[in-house]
Chain A
Amino acid sequence: MANKARALVDGLLDPLARLGHGGLKALAGLGRAHLLLLGILAGSWDMLRRPRLLLAQVFNVGVLSVLIVGVSGFFVGMVLGLQGYYVLSQFGAKESLGVMVAASLVRELGPVVTALLVAGRAGSALTAEIGLMKATEQLSGLEMMAVDPVRRILTPRFFGGLISMPLLAALFSAVGVLGGYFVGVGLLGVDDGAFFGQMQAKIDFREDVVNGVIKSLVFGVVATWIALFQGHDATATSEGVSRATTRAVVHSALAVLAIDFVLTALMFGK
């Protein structure tokens, strides 16, 4: 009898205890992530004195992502051109196709899709690189040489991501507009002048472009931060690194989409 009651209580308490444990673990991780961010930012002065480290990372994160971002942008732009044409032509407004394509790209798809692509391509690479450096004791080796690995290794990667993201998003949007133009004007016969004229008249620099750039800056911070943290926090084994890489991509994708909703609500939801 007493045993049964005991088992019942345990059965009730166990999930609760596990929930608490999980919650505490998540909070501790969040704390470590913020401490790491502080450490990364503290290294920015140090980094400015070694601009070549930063340039190398802008190349790593940015330049090496140009192809995938450009190609994706073109396809997304073409799809927007097709879909937009069919919707707009029902209202006899197919001259507005340019506005629709550009607004969707600059406000939403440019920053968001670029962030997802960068998280998948460059973010996962960052996580794996840092995680492997940890697993092979390269980070400890640096520490023993009195070199702070956070400042020397993580800070340039962080700013590399931060700088690359808006530039890549701009590239995505620009190529996307070309894709929309190719389909809309080239294939479906929308008027050339109307496509660009309306775009120029209706796309607002402050409202659309600046907000898009702000978004992609925020995504740059979040995606790179998550990637670096997961690598730095990875269990120092090959399995740990592989799991950290997966987590980095999943977490940054979710974070980007969730933050995008919040930012969109703040920026455009009047």
Chain B
Amino acid sequence: MGGQQSTQFPDGVPIGGACDTVSGPAAAPDCLVRIRGLSFSRGAQVIFDRVDLDIARGAVTAVMGPSGTGKTTLLKLISGQLRPDAGSIEVDGEPVETLGRSALYKLRRRMGMLFQSGALLTDLSVFDNVAYPLREHTKLNPAMVRKLVLLKLEAVGLRGARDLMPSALSGGMARRVALARAIALDPMMILYDEPFTGQDPISMGVLVTLIRQLNDASGLTSIVVSHDVRETASIADYMYIISNGKVMAQGTPAQIAAERSEWVRQFMDGLPDGPVHFQYPAPSLAADLLVRGVG
């Protein structure tokens, strides 16, 4: 596993392998996000159960896991859209779960988030969508805004689509526009929720490179949530695999690839049979069909 840590969580998962430091109250300078004892439930459904997780500054950290395990929820917790039931989430030294509105908004100006759905404003054109954060938070003159917007759109290959309305974009294009918007303010951290879904092989390749380049060129920190195992492993510096409210495995892509645990093998290799169940928790099919069959 991570190997850099000696501390062990009751389940045998090492704490905070991503930052090369001792865990504890003295937050390490190279640890941008530090999550400790995070618990979160929706009604009776436990989504996180005392999870510890570290995101190293300047690295691309991937969070993977089966559909519905709470990857999107994790990003929402990190960005303060949801509050945890217990535990602490520190971003750049600030405790997100207790921040007031204005402090949280200040922090968010330094974060970009790429939503799974894109979340573009449907009454604004592509250009105005990307310009939105610039117009909101800076006093740049229109010429400067235009220049920046065109540069960001060029980076995602959609400069030619600037006059389109979001309704005229495909899902993959909308997500790339959303990416351009997320990097408009040159944030310190970007949260990517499924950046690769709906991309053709070419734009997928471009996106993979782009995420890596953005990260390295401007000293960004990236969190990539995805289930595209191969693409994600190819750009990640460190990976977490979560399932059933726990961190199942973590480490560099090489370490994960060498991981022997049956569970991790099944997930990484996409095997239908194994300890992971494809089905949402339910009584056995036979029982379900028989018991309520008549009525």
A positions within 8 Å CB-CB of B: 133, 136-138, 140-148
Contact = CB atoms under 8 A, between A and B. Distances in A.
9 closest Cβ contacts across the A-B interface?
Answer: A141-B119, A137-B119, A146-B105, A146-B108, A144-B113, A146-B109, A145-B133, A137-B115, A137-B117
B115 A145 contact: no
Contact of A147 (B106, B118, B122, B136): B136
A54 B140 CA distance: 23
B62 interface: no
24 contacts: A133-B122, A136-B119, A137-B116, A138-B121, A138-B122, A141-B113, A141-B120, A141-B121, A141-B178, A142-B121, A144-B79, A144-B81, A144-B111, A144-B113, A144-B115, A145-B133, A145-B136, A145-B137, A145-B181, A146-B105, A146-B108, A146-B109, A146-B133, A147-B132
Contact of A143 (B81, B112, B116, B137): B81
Nearest to A143: B81
Interface string B173-190: 000001001000000000
Contacts of B109: 146
Contacts of A136: 117, 119, 122
Nearest to A139: B119
Contact of A140 (B105, B112, B115, B133): B115
A147 B109 CA distance: 9
A140 B136 CA distance: 16
B79 A146 contact: no
B120 A138 contact: yes
A148 B105 contact: yes
B146 to A, nearest CB: 19
A137 B120 CA distance: 8
Interface of B: 79, 81, 101, 105-106, 108-109, 111-113, 115-122, 132-133, 136-137, 178, 181
Which of B113, B119, B136 has the most chain A CB within a 10 Å cutoff? Answer: B119
Contacts of B106: 146
Contacts of B113: 141, 144
A258 to B, nearest CB: 34
Contacts of A146: 105-106, 108-109, 133, 136-137
Nearest to B105: A146
A237 to B, nearest CB: 13
Contacts of A145: 108, 132-133, 136-137, 181
Contacts of A133: 122
A137 B136 CA distance: 19
B121 A143 contact: no
Contacts of B101: 148
Contacts of B120: 138, 141
A141 B111 CA distance: 12
A259 B121 CA distance: 36
Contacts of B117: 136-137
A148 B136 CA distance: 11
A136 B129 CA distance: 15
Contacts of B79: 144
Nearest to A145: B133
Contacts of A142: 121
B108 A144 contact: yes
B50 to A, nearest CB: 26
A125 to B, nearest CB: 13
B256 to A, nearest CB: 29
A140 B137 CA distance: 17
Contacts of B122: 133, 136, 138
A144 B119 CA distance: 10
A125 B34 CA distance: 43
Nearest to A144: B113
Given A144-B113, A145-B133, 6 more contacts: A138-B122, A141-B121, A145-B181, A146-B106, A146-B137, A148-B105
A106 B36 CA distance: 64
A140 B118 CA distance: 11
Nearest to B108: A146
A61 to B, nearest CB: 15
Contacts of A141: 113, 115, 119-121, 178
A144 B105 CA distance: 8
A194 B120 CA distance: 60
Contacts of B112: 144
A148 B218 CA distance: 28
B12 to A, nearest CB: 35
A172 to B, nearest CB: 29
Contacts of A144: 79, 81, 108, 111-113, 115
A137 B119 CA distance: 5
B26 to A, nearest CB: 29
Which of B81, B111, B112, B121 has the most chain A CB within a 10 Å cutoff? Answer: B121
A138 B112 CA distance: 14
A43 to B, nearest CB: 12
